[in-house]
């Protein structure tokens, strides 16, 4: 991933919604150990997770960390938290597909109304840049979680015109695939099953493919997008795909698998850029950028080697040029173990 110029972060006040989640913790760790922000604010609704971060040996001595209890559903609380903040990284969301299907009102309140609240609070308080985390499930969504994140993406893209002629805030979106080892994902699930003595791992379909990215890669990509954004973009990293059956063999060589069938709201393959979006997409060496489509917005000028993708282009986990082998994935997993014990 393209490194981010330190000048984008150094001396700035940064707030992370959902800052106690898997991504939030990794982002906070990167900010306080690798860069020099004036202040990092963790905004979340879970006081226990905030306490766990406060006593974390890698974070407890950081003098520039602040903790703010709040919910993105609460517009007034967000506005209070955003005062004096330069950069907002919006990572708060309800992310479990089945949970969203069973609790649709809660999903909409957090993922859609929460996005609106973040935009309004940023506009009212002088925030300079806002980047929102999205998901591959927002492209051609077939479940409520994906649909709610697509609506969120549209809100952040449209915020470019809500700002009007003002210099800021700049709003952008980062869309990427499954994060290796994040809470609630398949890797910790398989690990737990194996620790409990499972002799067979469940695979929904042997053909199923997914995009994969590590937490650290996601953090670095978001930081680089903060430096590159002009407002109204959706940034998509070039990341590898892997078959779920190969992932299971990588985690437990020799262990049997059994087919459970695709669950409601689940795709056989994931997509991050559809053919319909290709007309607004620019390709760079390490990423794609979906430019805002309103008013014939200019697409070029991000990188010397950029190019407009063909009209029939799509970026799907099954037509990807990059693939993880079983050995590649085991190397990633060993790196996660090293990071966890650092």
298 neighbors 337 (Cβ within 8 angstroms):
no
E strand map for 140-298: 170-174, 178-179, 200-203, 209-213, 233-237, 241-243, 256-259, 271-273, 281-283, 287-290
Long-range CB contacts (within 8 A, 24+) of 300-305: 302/228
**pLDDT reported for residue 297:** 56
**pLDDT reported for residue 5:** 56
**pLDDT reported for residue 303:** 83
- Domains of the chain plus CATH, in order, are 6-179+213-239+271-317 (3.40.50.720)
User: Which active-site residues does the annotation give?
Assistant: 137
What would the two tokens of residue 232 be?
């109204």
Helix (H) or strand (E) holding 89: strand 87-90
User: Who's near 56: CB < 8 A, 6+ residues apart?
Assistant: none
Q: How buried is residue 323: exposed, middle or buried, by Cβ count under 10 Å (0-12/13-18/19+)?
A: middle
Which residue numbers in the chain have pLDDT < 70?
Answer: 1-7, 184, 293-300, 337-342
**pLDDT reported for residue 166:** 75
**pLDDT reported for residue 55:** 94
**pTM higher than 0.85 for the full model?**
yes
> Which alpha helices (H) appear in 197-311, and where do they start and end?
215-228, 244-251
């Amino acid at each position: 991933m393209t490194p981010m110029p330190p000048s984008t972060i150094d001396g700035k006040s940064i707030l992370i919604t959902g800052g106690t989640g898997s991504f939030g913790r990794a982002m906070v760790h990167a900010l306080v150990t690798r860069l020099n922000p004036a202040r990092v604010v963790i905004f979340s609704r879970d006081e226990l997770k905030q306490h766990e971060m406060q006593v974390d040996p890698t974070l407890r001595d950081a003098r520039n960390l602040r903790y703010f209890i709040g919910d993105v559903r609460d517009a007034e609380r967000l506005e209070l938290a955003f005062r004096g903040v330069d950069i907002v990284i919006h990572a708060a969301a309800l992310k479990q597909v089945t949970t969203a299907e069973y609790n649709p009102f809660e999903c909409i309140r957090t993922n859609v109304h929460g996005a609106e609240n973040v935009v309004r609070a940023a506009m009212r308080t002088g925030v300079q840049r806002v980047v929102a985390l999205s998901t591959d499930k927002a492209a051609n969504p077939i479940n409520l979680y994906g649909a709610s994140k697509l609506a969120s993406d549209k809100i952040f893209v449209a915020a470019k015109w809500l700002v009007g002629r003002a210099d800021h805030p700049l709003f952008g979106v980062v869309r990427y695939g499954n994060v290796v080892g994040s809470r609630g994902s398949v890797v910790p699930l398989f690990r737990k099953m194996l620790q409990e003595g499972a002799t067979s791992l469940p695979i929904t379909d042997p053909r199923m493919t997914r995009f994969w990215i590590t937490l650290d890669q996601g953090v670095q990509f978001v930081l680089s997008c903060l430096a590159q954004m002009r407002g109204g973009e959706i940034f998509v990293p070039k990341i590898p795909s892997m078959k779920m059956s190969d992932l299971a063999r990588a985690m437990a060589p020799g262990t049997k698998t059994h087919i459970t069938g695709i669950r409601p709201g689940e795709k056989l393959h994931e997509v991050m850029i559809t053919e319909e979006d290709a007309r607004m997409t620019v390709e760079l060496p390490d990423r794609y950028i979906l430019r805002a489509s309103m008013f014939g917005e200019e697409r070029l000028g991000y990188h010397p080697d950029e190019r407009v993708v063909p009209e029939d282009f799509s970026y799907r986990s099954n037509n990807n040029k990059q693939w993880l082998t079983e050995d590649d994935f085991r190397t990633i997993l060993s790196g996660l173990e090293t990071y966890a014990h650092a």
